[in-house]
Amino acid sequence: MTGREKLKEYLLYNSDMIIQKWLSISRGEDDLSKYSSRMPQNIINELIASNYELIKGIAASLSDEQDKNLQLWSREAGEKRARLDIGITSSISQFNGFRDIVWDFLERFFSENEIGTSEALKLGRKVDKTLDGLTEGFLTSYHAYTIKRMRAQQEMIDDLSTPIITIIDGIAVLPLIGDIDTHRAKKLMEHSLRECSGKEVSCLIIDLSGVLVVDTMVAHELFKVIEALELTGVKATLTGMRPELAHTVVSLGIHFDHVKMYNNLMQALKNFGITRVS
């Protein structure tokens, strides 16, 4: 039996001991950790099963077996820890702890089986290469899930930052608050066209009272949004353009002559016959 075959059997035979040692070290961390001593039993069972599959994969790699389950393990582990909000630093620390434990058993194996330095180095490098591949797969999966979640959150923020609020049939208000950058301007165009079409809006009141800064880009994008709305049959009305904002727009040479403007939202609503009932 070759050294690789012996090591494979050795790791599988000692898998329970490796897992328990790793788990005992992991649970010694502070109680805020997902791996802490307060960890529920079902999570412990999941970790034990997961790490057993990991050890099986490492053992299989010693015989140059193509274990697709090992790649799947790293991807699932990365996504799961990202989903549970386990920090990347903590995750890598845990993985490095597992690597140290595996190396403790490797050293014991080399000593007990009188493995020569040359063969020990080859076996050690083989195990390390497998673990490095797992780390890379883990990080790739963790990063991909994090980016996916961030994009989903950004889409939600974009929708919340450009709310189309229906007042009465056919009339809606779009209150804009804060700075409008290139990304938000693009989303403003997409969201306003989609929502006005879906809600059958014929007149959209765009309230600018919450917009603090209007530069060239913002003014042009706002003009493009109004033009696009008109092409779809939606008449745009502007309210809340403060004097300094109006001065900026005029100095930029952009004209909204064809657009109805009101000093504030209340005036615009009154013009449409919408008043507060006392």
Residues 52 and 20 both lie in one domain: yes
pLDDT at 108: 92
Identify the weakest region by mean pLDDT among 15-19, 129-133, 159-163.
Answer: 159-163
Residues 100 and 228 both lie in one domain: no
Residues 184 and 138 both lie in one domain: no
Q: Comparing 5 with 276, which gets the higher pLDDT?
A: 5
Q: Is residue 25 part of a domain?
A: yes
Query: What average pLDDT does this structure show over 134-142?
Result: 91
CATH number of the domain where residue 252 is located: 3.30.750.24
Q: Is residue 276 part of a domain?
A: no
pLDDT at 95: 85
Residues 90 and 205 both lie in one domain: no
CATH number of the domain where residue 121 is located: 1.10.490.10
pLDDT at 89: 86
What is d(CA 112, CA 115) in angstroms, rounded to the nearest whole number? 8
Query: Among the three residues 114, 132, 154, which one is the final residue of a domain in this structure?
Result: 154
Q: Which residue, among 178, 174, 179, 199, has the nearest Cα to 189 in the 3D structure?
A: 174
Q: Is residue 278 part of a domain?
A: no
Residues 185 and 262 both lie in one domain: yes
Residues 150 and 173 both lie in one domain: no
Residues 143 and 57 both lie in one domain: yes
- Provide the CA 212 distance to its chain's centre, in angstroms: 29
pLDDT in tens, 202-247: 999 999 888 777 667 777 778 888 889 999 999 999 998 877 767 7
Tokens of 19: 């897992």
The residue range of the domain holding 66 is 3-154
Residues 22 and 138 both lie in one domain: yes
- Answer yes or no: is pLDDT of 66 > 70: no
| Gyration radius from the chain CA atoms | 31
What is d(CA 97, CA 14) in angstroms, rounded to the nearest whole number? 17
Residues 16 and 147 both lie in one domain: yes
Query: Among the three residues 154, 179, 209, which one is the final residue of a domain in this structure?
Result: 154
The 8 Å CB, 24+ separation contacts for 224-232 are 224/189, 225/185, 225/188, 225/189, 225/192, 226/256, 226/259, 228/189, 228/193, 229/192, 229/193, 229/196, 229/204, 232/193, 232/196, 232/197
Tokens of 90: 């903590």
pLDDT at 65: 61
Query: What average pLDDT does this structure show over 91-100?
Result: 87
- Provide the CA 84 distance to its chain's centre, in angstroms: 12
Tell me the pLDDT band of 31, cut-offs 50, 70 and 90: very low
* Structural domains counted in the chain: 2
Answer whether 196's CB lies under 8 Å from 173's CB.
no
Residues 15 and 149 both lie in one domain: yes
- Answer yes or no: is pLDDT of 101 > 70: yes
Residues 148 and 23 both lie in one domain: yes
What is d(CA 190, CA 185) in angstroms, rounded to the nearest whole number? 9
Q: Is residue 134 part of a domain?
A: yes
Q: Is residue 118 part of a domain?
A: yes
State which amino acid sits at residue 50.
S
Query: Among the three residues 126, 154, 182, which one is the final residue of a domain in this structure?
Result: 154
Q: Is residue 160 part of a domain?
A: no
- Mapped onto helix, strand or coil, the DSSP state of residue 197 is helix
Answer whether 19's CB lies under 8 Å from 48's CB.
yes
Query: What average pLDDT does this structure show over 15-40?
Result: 67
Residues 104 and 183 both lie in one domain: no
Q: Is residue 10 part of a domain?
A: yes
Q: Is residue 139 part of a domain?
A: yes
Close Cβ partners of 237 (under 8 Å, ≥ 6 residues apart): 203, 204, 205, 206, 259, 260, 261, 262, 268
Sequence-ordered alpha helix ranges (H) in the chain: 3-13, 15-26, 41-61, 68-83, 88-112, 117-161, 182-198, 216-231, 243-251, 265-271
Tell me the pLDDT band of 33, cut-offs 50, 70 and 90: very low
